[in-house]
Chains A and B, each alone.
Chain A
């Protein structure tokens, strides 16, 4: 009879269980108000940056009679030093920023998770080797290194920039994850998994990593914010010759064109700064909710 019950539970179709999972996901996200608002804003920024350009074309036409006009209906955020619409630049300029930040955070998180858990869980020579490399990378001042690298390699590809940043940003997270793995591997449930002969991969992927997930996800989000500032800084200093317009490039152009010297140009320089600030704030708020999503104490269905 029991077996019958079990099979009945299995009969939920994939669609139904996907819907149930989605509902639980939303419920957990909404658990924390601030986090949920952050999540919605992040979604909005992503939609704006990726779907927005389909509707709002980048204004590239120079209009000498319209330099630095304050917001009107036609130009919601005014115009820049060449009379081009700022709103269209904001809509078109988010894609690259988000892409590079996501790529950098993804690469650094994957490196940190894989090698951090291996280092902590397996230990021995593997641990020593990984930790030596980590400590070396950790002591290299990253920003100057990126600046130097930018001078040697022509960093005109966004993907290359993201990869480079990702390859440099993992050491702190790796150290934290290693410490977590070290403490988790002493737990009885890991011992039980070893006694059941479940294999190293199972133990790392199914027992260790899920228990570190809240931390990993939050670190990923924070890694994104870090990468946003990092690329903005590189572009602002003019070290990355990226031709396409994005928020970082806008700030740099506004600065170079002396936008800070005119009263009416405040919209030009503030628009990308505020856009970046909103994105960052939203990502950081979102981490509050993400923590909860991966917390098994809340995950159970109601």
Chain B
């Protein structure tokens, strides 16, 4: 299905890509920012995006897939418009982080990373987000939302576009 799809950096991103290359001594080091850039443009990183980056940077596809599968913030499955990462590490768990995550899954009737039916939200269970002072906390796209309970979490997410 994805074999017929194509992907290419748009003009702005291609310029950004070239700027990234100048930051590092070798091409491989620029892979992480380049993957972020591609994910920003495409939403997630399917095989045809990997092939494009592989050709562009002359890095074998499997090496790119290794990186994508290693890190939680790269998605090799389709995700919703908004990514919501709920922390379930020690501090947040002590304040009910796991229960909030389970409650959100139930409320939106979805599973780990599976987009909600309207394609609005993907929920992701995370280990430490590095914001223990906000426990229990979650990250909505690029913003931290802290001192949550299930009701306020649901309320916050229902406001999302």
Q: A and B, one complex?
A: no
